[in-house]
Amino acid sequence: MCDAVQKLVDESGEESREESRTEIAINLLREQVSPELVSKATGLSMARVLELQASLGEGSAD
């Protein structure tokens, strides 16, 4: 039982960290930080950062 609970906690924590890194990346991209630097700063792959950048471009009416 304890192993199962620990596994759930670990998985939940990883999802939370991923969400935090994604939010940080989005904020940096909105501030016009280069995708390369965003990738280095957040640990997200360059492909993921470019996906986020593209999604920001599609949704903005600026």
pLDDT, tens digit, for every residue of 1-51?
Answer: 577 766 656 666 677 888 999 999 999 999 999 999 999 999 999 999 999
Tally helices (H) and strands (E) across the chain.
Answer: 3, 0
Supply the range of the domain harboring residue 11. Answer: 2-58
First to last CA, the chain: 52
Does the pTM surpass 0.75? The reply is no
At 10 the pLDDT is 65
At 12 the pLDDT is 65
At 8 the pLDDT is 59
Tell the burial category of 44 from Cβ atoms under 10 Å away from its Cβ (0-12, 13-18, 19+).
buried
Count of domains observed in the chain: 1
